[in-house]
Structure 1
Amino acid sequence: MRSKVLAVAVAAALGVTSFQVAAAPQKNTGKVTVSSSELAEMRAQIAALQAKVEELETKSDAQTDAQVQTSQSIADVQTKVATAKPSDDLSKRLDKLDKLVSNTKVGGTMFFDLTDIDHKEQVGTGPNRKVDGHGSVNGTGFDVKRFYLTVDHQFDDIWSANLTTDFNYQSTLSQTSLFVKKAYVQGKFDPLLQLRFGAADMPWIPFVEKWYGYRFLENTLTDRSIEGGRSGATATAGGVGAFGNSSDWGIHALGANTGDNSINYQLSVVNGRGYKNLTRSNNVDTEGRFGYSPIENMVIAVGGYQGKRGNDVENGAPTRDATRGDAMIAYRDKTFGFGGEYMTANNWDDVLRYAGTGPVPLSIKDKATGYSLWADWKFAEGFALFARYDKLDYKYYTVANLQRKLNDKYYNAGVSYDVLKNLRLALAYKHNQLDGPVDAYTYKTNEIGFWGMLSF
């Protein structure tokens, strides 16, 4: 449009100029005269100008049409994109992927430390000797005691699955291992009725750990090994192991409600060898727990274990039941936490019954009793003081019915700081002393340093 107006203006200007030339007075005659050749030339110029005007109009119209077509094409594409839908197959795949991501949670927990250990042993009235042995290694080192990687998937409102792997590394021993800690399918039919099939938490140890709160620093009483051993006057054996498993393969029924006057329970029927060993036997073991909370921040719980710990195998030695009884009372709120645990166990290490043939065993029966007391106080934002004391007496008997006794004392104390919501550090001191199995043997272990727990 603008080019057309310009062309008309130019034509008008040329017309006016021609008219002025044609009308210019002749000085000699006083008459206006235009020769035929001049008139023809002006007409030719006007014709040429008209042709250019028509050419410009044609180009302008073509450009306008192209702009309209382009705008319409863009609008059509935008409409198609806005209303486009994926194919049914792609839509189903996207829905499955979204459901998988939304219903799956991945997390992890790491226990680590940087400490210095001083371990000394004494036989009779001899000198204390700083040596490596009985589970303690002298020196300074960084350890990753545990690294749990957990995957939880929720199939629907009832069914879910859990896989937890456990990685262990100790720099002083140059030892690494990776194994399955938990692998189970769960059906949650009611808060008071859940069923787990596979390797899952046992009723007692994980329950006590929850109320204790400092598992990253030390195992609980039932789960803590005695680092000495039952091997005569010099205790040269590798030590007495824990008196329970934190996870085992089997069927687990559990439930709990919340608030004041609430209850919790768990009953597990398992193989008996722990999560690291899937060995079958002729009998299964059982462990149970029942807890009552008169107020929400407090619990009173009792539990027990009975079974052959996976030792009743075909063509094997005669066996007896290993038994354990447990009790705990604990309280925890935002500022204070304290509690106590008691345990007693019979024939935990002597499930195999001596029949009078073959090599004479060191021990034919055993008994252990012990207790643990702990407390912590959050005295400032993120800071807490904590302490714990354990005492355990372990007795075993020889074929001649001679009693050997191990007295184990343990305590720790320190201060913890919550660096982040999911990162806790503790500066602590730990002491462990074993006397026995006769009066002529003693060992002491002192450890100081930093312990930490990282979760995500």
Structure 2
Amino acid sequence: MAAEKGKENSKIGKDQTATLQEMQRQIQALQAKIADLQARQEAQADAQVETAKAVNDVQVASAKPADELTRKLDALNKLVDNTHVGGTMFFDVTSQSHKEATGISSLVKKDGHGSTNGTGFDVKRFYLTVDHKFDDVWSANLTTDFNYQVSIGQTSLFVKKAYVQGKFDGLFTVRFGAADMPWIPFVEKWYGYRFVENTITDRSFEGGRSGGTATAGGVGAFGNSSDWGIHALGATTGGNSISYQLSVVNGRGYRNLSRSKSVDTEARFGYSPIEQMVIAVGGYSGKRGYDTEGGAPTRTATRGDALLAWRDKTWGAGVEYFHTENWDDILRYAGTGAGPNPATNSTKDKADGYSAWADWHFYDQFAVFGRYDRVDYKYDNLTSVEEKLKDRYYNAGVSYDVLKNLKLALVYKHNKLDGPVATPYHYKTNEVGVWGMLTF
């Protein structure tokens, strides 16, 4: 019994040992599978990392051209947003009758002194403007001026304005270059009908002085609308507001960039007790660019200005006055006449003028308007005898705002000049037609 029990225990021990060995073998196999699985997972993770890296590299590579394109588009958009291109055209289709007479002869039709008989289409002005804003302070402007030049018989292109501007405050802006002068552009804004006619200080009347002085020819404008120099300006808004401008310039206007020994000064100050009204005064002093080294002795040209104007949505009215001395006769030409001292005789001039205008928007886009100018011009000839010119001008018409940026006007104009009594000279000009202004 004991022997059999021992054999049985021995068998159980062998079975347990076999079982343990089998379990160890299975555990080892399982561990091998787990290790293999871990290796596969690690390899898969490495592959995923490599794939993600490759995808990222592709995305970064493809994003670079897109970012560069976006940057360029942003720069282009900024340039476009900060740059404005525009234009203004003055045009007309009219019929003109111009008559002249000398001495006691009768008026007869004759071309001359800036007038041509007949019917025709004219583009008096075409301004092309480019404005660019660099930042909140600095900007630049370029404005070209196209018109027809009678003296050369062809059209010409000028730089009307070309300046860099620094706007440091509403009351302090500085412009360097060719820019609007203080007086003429200011009056034009209140007048409102520049496309029909220049304001009085900017309107030339030709004839009358020919042969009477050392400088044969007519009488030009009494100011420049733009000139090369430094311009300081500013304004407040609304009622009880002020505006001013001070310009130190060459004196020859935007078409002439010549240099001289001195500079000219023009200034303006305006006060608006209410927004619709302005009271303004101004003045000019200088040699007008004629004070050159080695040139003839000069006088100082002066001009005083005054303006009272009103403009609202329905009515516009104004009166402008000016007085000039030595505007044309800056150079002291030596005389050869029969005066008390012929060697020292020289010419000199003075002028007084006023312009009154009014307009009434009576229905939607329609308005009626009218204007009257009077200029009395006196000058001493080379024999120290004072000569007088009288210029009278008026216009009347009806305007129609076809579009926001297109205005047409049916207008009648009349201009009459009476020359010196000693050598009578006269002319009359009548003109009727359609004048227009296009802006864009």
For the criterion TM > 0.5, the same-fold answer is: yes
| Structure 2 partner of 1:411 | 394
Distance in 2 (CA, whole Å) between partners of 1:362 and 1:131 is 34
User: What's the offset of the Cα at 1:98?
Assistant: 1.4
Alignment partner of 1:449 out of 416, 422, 433: 433
| Structure 2 partner of 1:50 | none
Alignment partner of 2:97 out of 115, 118, 124: 118
1:43-95, CA deviations, whole angstroms, 9 ceiling, x for partnerless residues?
xxxxxxxxxxxxxxxxxxxxxxxxxxxxxxxxx9xx979x9564554443222
| Structure 1 partner of 2:275 | 296
Gaps of 5+ in 2: 1-54
1:259-316, CA deviations, whole angstroms, 9 ceiling, x for partnerless residues?
1100000000000000000000010000000000000000000000000000111111
Distance in 2 (CA, whole Å) between partners of 1:394 and 1:339 is 22
User: What's the offset of the Cα at 1:146?
Assistant: 0.1
For the aligned residues, what is the CA RMSD? Answer: 2.6
Please give the secondary structure, in 2, of the residue aligned with 1:287: strand
One-letter code aligned to 1:297:
Q
| Structure 1 partner of 2:307 | 328
User: What's the offset of the Cα at 1:237?
Assistant: 4.6
Gaps of 5+ in 1: 1-75
2:143 aligned with 1:164, yes or no? yes
Seen in structure 2, the aligned counterparts of structure 1 residues 327 and 305 have a Cα distance that, compared at 3 Å, is same
Between 1:311-320 and 1:196-205, the stretch displaced more is 311-320
Q: Using structure 2 for the length normalisation, give the TM-score.
A: 0.81
1:205-236, CA deviations, whole angstroms, 9 ceiling, x for partnerless residues?
000000000000000000000122312579x9
Please give the secondary structure, in 2, of the residue aligned with 1:100: helix
Please give the secondary structure, in 2, of the residue aligned with 1:98: helix
2:374 aligned with 1:395, yes or no? no
2:192 aligned with 1:203, yes or no? no
Please give the secondary structure, in 2, of the residue aligned with 1:253: strand
Distance in 2 (CA, whole Å) between partners of 1:354 and 1:344 is 23
What is the percentage of aligned positions where both structures have the same residue? 74
One-letter code aligned to 1:155:
F
Distance in 1 (CA, whole Å) between partners of 2:344 and 2:80 is 56
Q: Is the 8 A contact 1:340 1:373 kept in 2?
A: yes
Distance in 2 (CA, whole Å) between partners of 1:434 and 1:276 is 28
Q: Is the 8 A contact 1:270 1:286 kept in 2?
A: yes
| Structure 2 partner of 1:190 | 169
| Structure 1 partner of 2:420 | 437
| Structure 2 partner of 1:382 | 365
Distance in 1 (CA, whole Å) between partners of 2:344 and 2:220 is 17
| Structure 2 partner of 1:69 | none
Q: Is the 8 A contact 1:115 1:142 kept in 2?
A: yes
2:266 aligned with 1:283, yes or no? no
Q: Is the 8 A contact 1:360 1:399 kept in 2?
A: no
| Structure 1 partner of 2:225 | 246
Alignment partner of 1:370 out of 349, 353, 360: 353
| Structure 2 partner of 1:217 | 196
Please give the secondary structure, in 2, of the residue aligned with 1:348: coil
Q: Is the 8 A contact 1:341 1:373 kept in 2?
A: yes
Seen in structure 2, the aligned counterparts of structure 1 residues 87 and 312 have a Cα distance that, compared at 3 Å, is same
| Structure 2 partner of 1:428 | 411
User: What's the offset of the Cα at 1:172?
Assistant: 12
One-letter code aligned to 2:430:
N
| Structure 2 partner of 1:23 | none
Q: Is the 8 A contact 2:335 2:344 kept in 1?
A: no
Q: Is the 8 A contact 2:143 2:159 kept in 1?
A: yes
Please give the secondary structure, in 2, of the residue aligned with 1:252: strand
Distance in 2 (CA, whole Å) between partners of 1:318 and 1:248 is 23
| Structure 1 partner of 2:71 | 92
| Structure 2 partner of 1:38 | none
One-letter code aligned to 2:356:
L
One-letter code aligned to 1:449:
G
Seen in structure 2, the aligned counterparts of structure 1 residues 412 and 164 have a Cα distance that, compared at 3 Å, is same
| Structure 1 partner of 2:41 | none
1:327-346, CA deviations, whole angstroms, 9 ceiling, x for partnerless residues?
00000000000000000000
User: What's the offset of the Cα at 1:135?
Assistant: 1.1
Between 1:312-321 and 1:87-96, the stretch displaced more is 87-96
Q: Is the 8 A contact 2:347 2:379 kept in 1?
A: yes
Q: 4+ residue stretches of structure 1 with deviation over 6 A?
A: 170-173, 357-362
How many correspondences in the alignment?
378
Alignment partner of 2:249 out of 270, 275, 292: 270
2:297 aligned with 1:313, yes or no? no
